[in-house]
Structure 1
Amino acid sequence: MLLKPINGLLLVICSTFCISASAASLRDPTLPGSGVIVASNSAASVSKTMTLNSVVVKHNSAFAVINGQIYKQGQRVNGVKIMKIDEDTVSLADGRKLKMFEAIIEIKGQ
């Protein structure tokens, strides 16, 4: 008579152990697969694209918001010196010009 409850308890303990052992061997689906190299948040992974978000020109000072950061003339953004800040453009030392609202300012057909 005593063997039936012990066998039932043994069955419960054994099945619990087996379930937890098989769950421990499962791979976390949120982890990257094998052979994947995860990049850190270093300067090498920073995007080189620049977006002119805003320009403030007041009296003799001008500031530009590029990629969410505030800059003034002479400072560097992504390693390129800001040469001039106008009302809707920023001229860079490498010859590029960042323009605000380019699609809105341009009038097609002219």
Structure 2
Amino acid sequence: MSLKPISHSLLFLVVSGMCFSLNAASLRDPTLPGAGSTSTTSATVKVDKTLTLNSVVIKHSGAFAVINNEIYKKGQRVQGVKIVQIGKDTVSLADGRKLTIFKAITEIKGQ
């Protein structure tokens, strides 16, 4: 059985079109993020719970603590946790955590 020349051309176009669509399907969209990236939404953004006690100031008017570069006083909340006590180099929180100033910063060498 012999195919007509027009049938050969039609067959060639159909096979070529199938190959092209297979190649196109295997190509990666260049606008998508890389393989190791993750996407987050505002509802799933992870909040950093690390609290750093930067300094403590005790005056006649009361004690103030600088935590994560923000000023707080006893009774206020930091990241939703109430500050229950401010000492000369520590801050106690209602959830049981105790923040301490890094001693190497507050002490003068040799004293």
Query: Deviation above 3 Å: which 4+ runs of structure 1?
Result: 102-105
Contact 1:63 1:85 in 2 (8 A): yes
Matches within 5 A, 1:1-110: 27=30, 32-33=33-34, 36-40=38-42, 44-102=45-103
Gaps of 5+ in 1: 1-25, 106-110
TM-score, normalized by length of structure 1? Answer: 0.57
* Identity %, equivalent residues: 61
Question: Offset of 1:36 from its aligned partner?
Answer: 3.1
Corresponding letter in the other structure for 2:58: V
What amino acid maps onto 2:30 in structure 1?
R
Counterpart CA distance in 2 for 1:61 and 1:77 is 18
Return the offset for 1:62. 0.9
Aligned residues: 79
Compute the TM-score of the two structures, normalised by the length of structure 2: 0.57
Which has the larger Rg? 2
1:7-47: CA deviation from partner (whole Å, max 9, x where unpaired): xxxxxxxxxxxxxxxxxxx836xx7326831344x795220
